[in-house]
């Protein structure tokens, strides 16, 4: 009789399952559960409803954690054992606001953990839940960690990264696996491969009868393999799903973002989609939170420019601009500066579109043009947050330039980027935007223009300098003021070389002859004399002439000095500065 009552209850619950608080009472085969299983499920359902009622009576929120997808990053806030013992589980975070499931808010262990989060400046919102749902959430976490250890950790050896040519060959060999595994697993293989090869971007490109997958490594695109269009479609559909893009829309551009875990760190992926003749084309920018930012010397700053960069964090107010085209390393330089300004005594806020790297200790704000949150309005808002240093992703218009300059004049350090070809050109660019000279001169402190060139691998070989190269060296070195040259290479007299290092190629650099990149740069510091020239509306050539006397060397000259040191080649320098040999 009791069994009949339970079966009747199961039948009723099956009919009501769409509105229930737990899972539908069927097994993996879609069948009604056995009597014992049904009883356990009914008890769980009754328990959940009891906690829901208690939450309403105490004016608290209720949550069933078994129905909430929990980001593994949140579980770093509490250990697995702490969560089970104290009956607490964080399940959602937005900024400093943290939502937490808790079985008993008066439990001493739970209160201690909550107090710990509060001390970390987190705004904790408690939600009543059952111990069963916490155990289920912990079980899901255990499964996720097991999957990560099996599918990712064993696939990446961060202590010994092989030459990317070998890794690409391995990926090419894995083409058959990509064609046989699920789309989710295929995407995971490509993500791991991109991290292992040091790629900055993954390109998914449809063509008429096939599709290409390419990685950008050290600024150069490398073909990984080509796929059947049907398999490619499955992968990009999985990509759209992870990015929360509109699955049924294929004719308009879309942007999205997702993240994946590599060992103990998270990698954010910024995704851009455009429709093309043969389908949707994707570019995925990899933003590795585990990436350590280089020192200014490691980036390639040398001599007088390195000294200036090291002194910039002592700045109390003024505008620092980093200029150059897309892909010239502006963001890396800005983040390097942010790291130096980020001290316990300073308030640092950024306004970015999008946020590329999350930095602990810095308040980072995301632009949202669709909801009216642009650079100009966002900058006005964050200036009310009492910042010492502000970084805005880009000065795009007069309104943003005006607010940024006024902030620089009123006791703030402003860091930003601008699209100009050289450092001095930034001054007339701001004026042409509509910013008056009497604001530009006093607001500007330093302008940094830069490009990226590939570094020679250790396998580089010596060769004789050609007559054409000898002429180039003589012309360029003769144009550098003697004082400026001494400030960059004081150790020995600079002479035209008879030999140069040339790319050779080995397994380390995958036969390219290059490994890694560095900046070539030029910097202008706005002193009183240059301020007066700006106020007097001096021309660009006049400003350059005065800056030259004060030690300016151009990007091309900086590059040539690096060629003399065996760091890069003339081809790289002239290609980056858009001048042909």
Q: Which residue has the higher pLDDT, 159 or 555?
A: 555
Rounded Cα distance, 432 and 438, in Å: 14
- Tell me the CB-side half-sphere exposure of residue 272, using CA atoms within 13 A: 7
CA atoms within 13 A on the CB side of 337: 31
pLDDT at 34 over 90: no
pLDDT for residue 102 is more than 80: yes
Q: What's residue 40's pLDDT? A: 56
pLDDT digits (tens, 9 = 90+) for 238-253: 899 899 898 888 899 9
pLDDT for the residue 112: 93
What is the pLDDT of the chain when averaged over all its residues?
A: 83
Please state, as a whole number, how many other Cβ atoms lie within 10 Å of the Cβ of residue 137. 25
Residues 206-212 have a mean pLDDT of 93
Residue 137: what pLDDT?
79
d(CA 287, CA 191): 12
Nearest alpha-carbon partner for 189 in 201, 211, 205, 172: 172
Calpha distance 135→43 (Å, rounded): 16
Contact 509, 218 (CB under 8 A): no
Task: Give per-residue burial for 527-549: e unless 16+ CB within 10 Å, then b.
Answer: eeebbebbeeebeeeebbebbbe
**Dist CA 393 CA 271 (whole Å):** 18
271 vs 327: CA distance, rounded Å: 16
> What pLDDT band is residue 45 in, cutting at 50, 70 and 90?
confident
pLDDT of 580 higher than 60: no
State residue 509's pLDDT score.
77
pLDDT at 23 over 60: no
CATH number of 2-150: 3.30.300.160
Lowest mean pLDDT: which of 44-53, 244-253, 262-271? 262-271
Q: pLDDT: is 160 or 413 the higher one?
A: 413
337 DSSP β-pair partners? none
CATH of region 296-576: 3.40.50.300
Choose between 144 and 460: higher pLDDT. Answer: 460
In the chain, CATH 3.30.300.160 sits at 2-150
Tell me which residue of 55, 94, 54, 102 sits closest to 74, measured CA to CA: 94
Specify the residue for token string 């130096």: 340
CATH 3.30.450.90 maps onto the chain at: 161-288
Percent share of the chain, pLDDT over 70: 83
pLDDT in the model for residue 33: 45
- The predicted-structure confidence for 417-455, as pLDDT tens digits, reads as follows 999 999 999 999 999 999 999 999 999 999 999 999 999
Read off the pLDDT band of 359 (50, 70, 90). confident
- Residues 312-329: what's their mean pLDDT? 93
Q: How confident is the model at residue 77 (pLDDT cuts 50, 70, 90)?
A: confident
pLDDT band with cut points at 50, 70 and 90 for residue 146? very low
Work out the average pLDDT over 51-56: 89
Can you give the pLDDT at residue 220?
86
How far apart are the two ends of the chain, measured CA to CA in Å? 95
- pLDDT confidence of residue 1: 44
Tokens of 414: 């402003």
Residue 549 near residue 484, CB atoms below 8 Å: no
Tell me, which fold does domain 161-288 have in CATH? Beta-Lactamase (3.30.450)
**Cα 91 from Cα 70, distance rounded (Å):** 5
pLDDT, tens only, 378-421: 888 898 999 999 999 899 899 999 999 999 999 999 999 999 99
Mean pLDDT, rounded, for 156-168: 49
Q: Quick one: pLDDT at residue 120? A: 86
Q: Is the pLDDT of residue 11 over 80?
A: no
What's the DSSP call for residue 30? S
Percent of all residues in the chain with a pLDDT value above 90, rounded to a whole number: 45
pLDDT band per the 50, 70, 90 thresholds, residue 180: confident
State the pLDDT at residue 25: 45
Phi-psi region of 97 (alpha: psi -120 to 50; beta: other; left: phi over 0): beta
39-43, 205-209, 300-304, 346-350 — which is least confidently predicted? 39-43
pLDDT at res. 168 = 56
Helix axes of 131-151 and 35-57: crossing angle, nearest 10 degrees: 110
pTM above 0.85, yes or no: no
Indicate whether 6 pLDDT > 60.
no
Q: Is the pLDDT of residue 274 over 90?
A: yes
The reported pLDDT for the residue numbered 284 is 95
Q: Band of the pLDDT at 35, cuts 50, 70, 90? A: very low
Residue 162 in this model has a pLDDT that exceeds 90? no
- Alpha-carbon span 163 to 157, nearest angstrom: 12
Q: Check pLDDT > 70 for residue 26.
A: no
Strands 254-262 and 220-228, bridge-based pairing: unpaired
Q: How confident is the model at residue 126 (pLDDT cuts 50, 70, 90)?
A: very high
Q: What is the reported pLDDT for 155?
A: 40
Over residues 482-506, the pLDDT tens digits come to 888 888 887 667 888 899 999 998 8
Residue ranges, CATH 3.40.50.300, the chain: 296-576
Q: Write out the DSSP string of 283-350.
A: EEEEEETTPPPPPHHHHT--HHHHHHHHHGGG--SEEEEEE-STTSSHHHHHHHHHHHH--TT--EEE
Rounded to a whole number of angstroms, the CA Rg of the chain reads 29
Q: What local confidence, expressed as pLDDT, does residue 71 receive?
A: 64
Question: What is the structure's pLDDT at 151?
Answer: 42
Instruction: Tell me which of 275 and 292 has the higher pLDDT.
Output: 275
């Amino acid at each position: 009789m009791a069994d009949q009552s339970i079966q009747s209850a199961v039948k009723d619950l099956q009919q009501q399952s769409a509105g229930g608080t737990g899972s539908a009472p069927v097994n993996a085969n879609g069948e009604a559960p056995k009597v014992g299983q049904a009883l356990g499920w009914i008890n769980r359902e009754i328990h959940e409803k009891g906690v829901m009622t208690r939450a309403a009576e105490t004016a608290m929120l209720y949550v069933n954690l078994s129905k909430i997808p929990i980001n593994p990053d949140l579980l770093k806030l509490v250990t697995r054992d702490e969560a089970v013992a104290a009956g607490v589980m964080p399940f959602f975070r937005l900024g400093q606001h943290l939502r937490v499931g808790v079985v008993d808010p008066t439990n001493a262990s739970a209160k201690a953990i909550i107090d710990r989060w509060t001390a970390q400046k987190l705004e904790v919102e408690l939600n009543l839940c059952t111990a069963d749902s916490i155990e289920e959430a912990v079980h899901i976490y255990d499964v996720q960690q097991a999957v990560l250890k099996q599918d990712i950790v064993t696939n990446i050896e961060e202590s010994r990264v092989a030459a990317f040519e070998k890794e690409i060959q391995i990926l090419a060999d894995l083409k058959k696996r990509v064609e046989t595994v699920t789309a989710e697993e295929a995407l995971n293989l490509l993500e791991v491969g991109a991290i292992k090869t040091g790629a900055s971007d993954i390109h998914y490109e449809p063509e008429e009868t096939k599709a290409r997958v390419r990685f950008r490594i050290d600024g150069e695109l490398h073909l990984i393999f080509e796929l059947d269009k049907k398999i490619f479609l499955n992968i990009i559909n999985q990509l759209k799903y992870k990015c929360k893009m509109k699955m049924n829309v294929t004719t308009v551009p879309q942007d999205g973002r997702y993240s994946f875990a590599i060992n103990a760190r998270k990698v954010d992926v910024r995704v851009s989609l455009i429709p093309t003749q043969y389908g949707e084309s994707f570019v995925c920018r990899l933003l590795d939170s585990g990436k350590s930012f280089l020192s200014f010397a490691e980036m390639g700053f040398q001599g007088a420019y390195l000294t200036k960069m090291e002194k910039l964090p002592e700045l109390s107010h003024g505008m620092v601009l980093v200029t150059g085209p897309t892909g010239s390393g502006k963001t890396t330089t800005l983040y390097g500066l942010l790291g130096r300004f980020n001290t316990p005594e300073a308030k640092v806020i950024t306004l970015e579109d999008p946020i590329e790297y999350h930095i602990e200790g810095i308040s980072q704000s995301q632009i949202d043009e669709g909801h009216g949150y642009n650079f100009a309005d966002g900058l006005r808002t964050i200036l009310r947050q009492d910042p010492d240093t502000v970084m805005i992703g880009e000065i795009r218009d007069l309104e943003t330039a005006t607010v940024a300059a006024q902030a620089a004049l009123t006791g703030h350090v402003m860091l930003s980027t601008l699209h100009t070809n050289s450092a001095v050109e930034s001054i007339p660019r701001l004026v042409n935007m509509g910013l008056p000279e009497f604001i530009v001169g006093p607001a500007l402190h330093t302008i940094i223009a830069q490009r990226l060139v590939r570094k020679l691998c250790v396998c580089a070989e010596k060769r004789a300098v050609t007559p054409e190269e000898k002429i180039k060296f003589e012309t360029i070195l003769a144009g550098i003021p003697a004082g400026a040259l001494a400030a960059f290479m004081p150790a020995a007299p600079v002479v035209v070389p008879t030999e140069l290092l040339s790319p050779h190629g080995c397994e380390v650099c995958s036969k390219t002859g290059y490994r890694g990149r560095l900046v070539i740069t030029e910097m202008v510091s706005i002193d009183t004399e240059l301020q007066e020239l700006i106020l007097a509306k001096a021309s660009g050539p006049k400003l350059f002439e005065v800056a030259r006397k004060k030690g300016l060397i151009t990007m091309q000259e900086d590059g040539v000095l690096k060629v003399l040191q065996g760091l890069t080649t003339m081809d790289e320098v002239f290609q980056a500065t858009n001048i042909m040999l």
